[in-house]
Chain A
Amino acid sequence: MSAAAGGSAGGGLNPNQVIILGAVGGLAGIYLTMLNQAMDTTIFSFLGGIGAIFAAVWGSDAVRRVCSYGLGTGVPSIGMLALGMGIVASMFGLTLPEVAGIPTVAGPIVAFIVAAIIGLIIGVMSNKILMMNIPIMEKSMIEIAGAGALVMIGLSTAIAGSFDIVAIMPAVVETGFIALVFIGGAMTILHPFNACLGPDEKQDRTLSVAVEKGALIMALAGFASLAVEGMDGISGALTTILGLVIWVVYFKKFMKQTHRDSYLIAGTGLLPSEEELE
């Protein structure tokens, strides 16, 4: 189906379906946390984590499509690039409403658009100046940067309970959880294809890993939010428990798909003891 260097990657879901799933799902998850402010609670914070999972699925699908052409530098590089662009764009997007005096609601959308612009410029440079000559480079870079920004905002929102920079600064940035969000978010995007690549790579298996990684980081975000002032313990625990449940479900699914795609599964038994070897 795909993925040795030099060809485009196919799969069950076509790219446009994944883009819609990731962008709409990611933004919806982030915006639904506004229920927190509407109902004066923090219980809906977990929706940010769910949004991050959708965005991670999108990001890792984009990574899998672009890396099928062979970058020459390993898959992790593109994930770190995504979050490098994503962190600059998302902080800009979330801060702009505060600086420019526009409504806070615009934050995630501005971040998303800025990430896409940075992605486009880096994609164009990769092809035109660095001569990488990957036909889908520009489009993939836009997607990867956009997904990176959404993962970052989603996880930050899950920790802080709101995407308002006034809440995110003390809860995520000053506590240093931003480093967790940065590296953890990069893992959700770069790890799935890095773990599954090869001639027998299948889209559904790779994306199961993306969901599973996203859920794991979501559970950690729940833990992190326990340390945040203004977040009650139940909201944090809910995020963690939901994350762990999704993780278990998708890890089992991944194992099943691995068994499905493998040629043969043979039990080797335990290692022989010293006496048996003699």
Chain B
Amino acid sequence: MIDPITIILITLGGVFIGVGVHFIPVGGAPAAMAQATGVGTGTVQLAAGAGLTGLISAGFMYNHLAISGVFTTSDSIMVMASGAIGAMIMISVTMFVGQLIYVYGVGVPPVSAKVKKDPITGDVQDIYVSKGTEGHGVPTVSFVSGVIGALLGGIGGSMIYIQLMEIVGDPTNSGAVALAGIFATGVFYVNSVLASYNIGGTIEGFHDPKFKRVPKAIVSCLIASLLCAIIAVPIMGGVI
């Protein structure tokens, strides 16, 4: 009844989510006052917002492809791509609109305080940081990093959803859809909170020194997701 490959893939999905969270520029409360680089809200809210949007677009694609009765490996890549793009659009829109407010509303230049030069554009950063702050807005490197994070999160979430749906193998069963969706959400929250505990507040993206903590998040997300997968798989198989 319990297929080890399904469990491994669900666990891998959880790890993707945990790593993805580290890429997202989270500024928290300081960023809400334009005193730190990133979007002004918590890790969980940002990751979950992007992840759930990804889950919706993945669910739409899954339903579209699986309704024919055959679901191949290339189909699952399509579903993961759809989930990833949904999450990427969500995070890009959030960062872009936040950026407009930082630049035209608050009146600060987007700048990182963790690096002297933007690793992507090469623009000088340190002279634009306002005194007493840790940067503000979403500089190019953080924007790119955020999009990569959403890509990983979207892939991870869709991977979990596909595996859970494939246990039942019936996209018309609304009970299965709801259960797989809510389980994927539950695993998503557990992993994004663990990752945010690892970050401990704010992170600017992959150029931030805190990004070096990723291995610890991988270990803990691996254990937590494995636990959730072992529990989730028998339920999906048993209840429907």
Contact = CB atoms under 8 A, between A and B. Distances in A.
Contacts of B194: 81, 122, 125-126, 130
Interface of A: 71-74, 76-78, 80-81, 83-85, 87-89, 91-92, 95, 98-99, 114, 118, 121-122, 125-126, 129-132, 165, 169-170, 173-174, 176, 178-179, 182
Contacts of B48: 80
B98 interface: no
A178 B216 contact: no
Given A73-B44, A84-B188, A169 B175 contact: yes
Interface of B: 28-29, 42-45, 48, 174-175, 178-179, 182-183, 185-190, 193-194, 196-201, 216-217, 219-220, 223-224, 227-228, 231-232, 234-235, 238-239
B235 A91 contact: yes
Q: Which of A84, A92, A178 has the most CB of B within 10 A?
A: A84
A155 B217 CA distance: 33
Contacts, number: 127
Given A95-B238, A130-B194, A121 B44 contact: no
A84 B187 contact: yes
State the majority secondary structure of interface residues on B: helix
A201 B77 CA distance: 50
A182 B175 contact: no
B239 A170 contact: no
17 contacts: A72-B200, A73-B196, A73-B201, A74-B29, A76-B42, A80-B48, A85-B186, A87-B185, A91-B183, A99-B239, A122-B224, A126-B197, A126-B220, A132-B197, A169-B175, A174-B174, A178-B182
A182 B185 contact: yes
A74, A118, A126: residue with the most chain B Cβ atoms closer than 10 Å: A74
Contact of B231 (A78, A114, A122, A170): A114
Contact of B182 (A85, A114, A130, A173): A173
A99 B185 CA distance: 23
A114 B232 CA distance: 12
A81 B191 CA distance: 8
Contacts of B227: 118, 121
B26 to A, nearest CB: 9
Given A80-B193, A173-B182, A73 B200 contact: yes
Contact of A98 (B178, B190, B238): B238
Nearest to A170: B175
A72 B178 CA distance: 33
B196 A77 contact: yes
A71 B200 CA distance: 7
A83 B192 CA distance: 13
B69 to A, nearest CB: 21
Contacts of A76: 42, 44-45
Contacts of A165: 239
Contact of B193 (A72, A77, A99, A178): A77
Given A73-B43, A178-B178, 9 more contacts: A76-B44, A77-B42, A77-B197, A81-B189, A87-B182, A88-B183, A126-B194, A129-B216, A169-B175
Contacts of A132: 197, 200
B44 A77 contact: yes
A111 to B, nearest CB: 10
Nearest to B231: A92
Given A91-B235, A130-B198, A173-B179, A84 B43 contact: no
